[in-house]
Chain A
Amino acid sequence: MKSTVRDHGDVRVLDLEGKITIGSGDVQLRQLVEESLQGGRTKILLNLKGVTHIDSSGIGEMVGCFTTVARRGGAMKLVNLPAKINDLLQVTQLITVFDVFDNEGEALASFSA
């Protein structure tokens, strides 16, 4: 998995690309979120536009990051979900857990709402 880190005001945006799968991207995702929290960034937006594959480990890691961020009083949201990731969240009903946005502007604005 490749990643780019951007800050928009107090929101940390993580642009993710490639695979979030067992033994590689899943661990990286956790590290990226942990580093953000350690740096005082508790509003995190995952941009999944470039993600080609995710498996149950990657999904599990997203859930773990979501609860970790919430426990620290922050929020982790998702933007630009590829159709296949959307399907995976739908069938496990996780789509009801995450705040999901179609465009980055709306997602960023939601953090200050």
Chain B
Amino acid sequence: MVRQAQMQLLSSFENIEIADGMLQELCNSAAVEEETAYWVGMALREALANAIKHGNKLNPEKRVHVLVRIVPGEELCIEVEDEGEGFAPSDVVDPTSPENLLRESGRGIFYIRHFMDAVSFSPGERGGTRVALIKKLPKVEQGGLDEEHS
């Protein structure tokens, strides 16, 4: 059974906890492995932090739109969209190169790409940036998940 949840968050870092809590509940209900759920949660946290800080620039009147969709045995998809002025991911430097190793910032997108299987950036419907994250999930044995939730 497909699980889906949608949220609109005000541009405050405290709200990252609420979104990750929602993701973890959804993962739990879809029997996503704990380890996978943790790292996907980390990717969501980084995407939200970017949307709030760099997208909406902490403007309390702007929102962040979050969509999580889990297809058990197939994939977990997350979309995060801000209401900012757009963002060019090509500007991101490689944090592992020696000259960047001691930089205090610039690791968020690197972590997102590391923990997810596919990451794409596109212009959002509201003028900001939409980032789509995909994590492939292992196949569910026939009947396993349905029995747990029947």
Residues of A in contact with B (beta carbons under 8 Å apart)? 21-24, 53, 55-57, 59-61, 63-64, 66-67, 84, 88, 91-94, 96-97
Give chain B residues whose Cβ lies under 8 Å from the Cβ of A84.
38
Contact with A along B73-111 (1 / 0, CB 8 A): 000000000000000000000011000011111111011
Query: Does B49 sit within 8 A of A, measured CB to CB?
Result: yes
B45 and A97 contacting across the interface, CB-CB below 8 Å: no
Give chain A residues whose Cβ lies under 8 Å from the Cβ of B96.
92-93
B14 and A23 contacting across the interface, CB-CB below 8 Å: yes
Shortest Cβ gap from A29 to chain B (Å):
12
Query: Majority SS of interface residues in chain A?
Result: helix
Give chain B residues whose Cβ lies under 8 Å from the Cβ of A57.
49, 105, 108
B49 and A56 contacting across the interface, CB-CB below 8 Å: yes
Give chain A residues whose Cβ lies under 8 Å from the Cβ of B38.
84
In Å, the complex CA distance between A96 and B101 comes to 10
In Å, the complex CA distance between A66 and B101 comes to 12
In Å, the complex CA distance between A23 and B15 comes to 11
| Closest residue of A by beta carbon distance from B109 | A56
Query: Does B53 sit within 8 A of A, measured CB to CB?
Result: yes
Count, A-B residue pairs, CB within 8 A: 60
Give chain A residues whose Cβ lies under 8 Å from the Cβ of B145.
none
With known contacts A23-B13, A23-B14, A92-B110, A55–B49 Cβ distance under 8 A: yes
A24 and B45 contacting across the interface, CB-CB below 8 Å: no
Give chain B residues whose Cβ lies under 8 Å from the Cβ of A24.
13
Give chain B residues whose Cβ lies under 8 Å from the Cβ of A63.
102-104
| Closest residue of A by beta carbon distance from B38 | A84
Q: Which of B12, B13, B107, B114 contacts A59 (CB 8 A)?
A: B107
Give chain A residues whose Cβ lies under 8 Å from the Cβ of B46.
55-56
With known contacts A22-B16, A55-B45, A91–B101 Cβ distance under 8 A: no
Query: Does B42 sit within 8 A of A, measured CB to CB?
Result: yes
A88 and B111 contacting across the interface, CB-CB below 8 Å: yes
Shortest Cβ gap from A31 to chain B (Å):
15
Q: List 14 A-B contacts (CB under 8 A).
A: A21-B45, A22-B16, A22-B45, A24-B13, A55-B45, A55-B108, A57-B105, A57-B108, A60-B104, A60-B105, A60-B106, A61-B104, A84-B38, A92-B96
B114 and A97 contacting across the interface, CB-CB below 8 Å: no
With known contacts A22-B49, A55-B45, A91–B104 Cβ distance under 8 A: no
B95 and A92 contacting across the interface, CB-CB below 8 Å: yes
